[in-house]
Chain A
Amino acid sequence: GAVVSQHPSRVICKSGTSVKIECRSLDFQATTMFWYRQFPKQSLMLMATSNEGSKATYEQGVEKDKFLINHASLTLSTLTVTSAHPEDSSFYICSARRGQEISGNTIYFGEGSWLTVV
């Protein structure tokens, strides 16, 4: 199956600093990528949908100035948590959808990134 890679898998940062998480589709072009956060023992919560070359669409309640998303190429999307605070500590997961030229309509997920803000 398709491979989506996230980096870093774990990161610890100080409160008030910013941290960037990368999401790459390794063997296919991803016209659309999605970012989620997941708290322990809870389901994934969609934060935003990212389309290559355009601004991300954020879900209600997600601060776009705090969670900056960039999808500059068909294989890379980044999530930057700005001015991080302890309550931003969570498991962040990205997913990518294959381009329309490939059938199957399947979304593939990255391994996830643990963010701890101290």
Chain B
Amino acid sequence: LAKTTQPISMDSYEGQEVNITCSHNNIATNDYITWYQQFPSQGPRFIIQGYKTKVTNEVASLFIPADRKSSTLSLPRVSLSDTAVYYCLVGDYSGGYQKVTFGTGTKLQVIP
């Protein structure tokens, strides 16, 4: 499984765009990149998933360079409710038996 490295924590003011980068140097050809958000005492919530280039949905964008050794989650105009821990996961789940392991995550604190 590809190991991921993220900043431990980040602070941002309300209304700003936040970019969280994840390094995954040994990503495999079949691996997808998935980001989750977790609030205290809740299970992680799926945010976005991508394989290459750029993916955008209603809550975030995911930028993946050509070499796929890193990815950047972009949250537009964050609010206080975006304060949470964000996890980057890399893996291929299609085989049916792949494990899903978490790194340390990035604790985002949004400041008023």
Contact = CB atoms under 8 A, between A and B. Distances in A.
Contacts of A34: 99-100
Given A34-B100, A43-B103, A105-B93, A111 B43 contact: yes
B102 A44 contact: yes
A105 B44 CA distance: 16
Nearest to B103: A43
Interface of B: 32, 34, 36, 41-46, 49, 87, 89, 92-94, 96-97, 99-105
Interface in A77-95: 91, 93-95
B30 to A, nearest CB: 9
A46 B34 contact: no
Contacts of A107: 34, 46, 89, 93, 100
Q: Nearest 3 A-B pairs (CB), nearest first?
A: A109-B43, A105-B93, A44-B102
Nearest to B107: A41
Which of A1, A31, A44, A95 has the largest count of B CB atoms less than 10 A from its CB? A44
A32 B31 CA distance: 17
A61 interface: no
A91 B94 contact: no
The range of chain A's interface size is 20 to 34
Contacts of A112: 41-43
Interface of A: 1, 4, 6, 31-32, 34, 36, 43-46, 49, 51, 57, 59, 91, 93-95, 97, 100, 104-112, 114
Contact of A108 (B46, B97, B103): B46
11 contacts: A32-B97, A43-B87, A43-B105, A44-B87, A46-B102, A57-B97, A100-B96, A105-B92, A106-B93, A109-B46, A111-B42
A75 to B, nearest CB: 16
Given A32-B97, A105-B49, A109-B36, A95 B92 contact: no
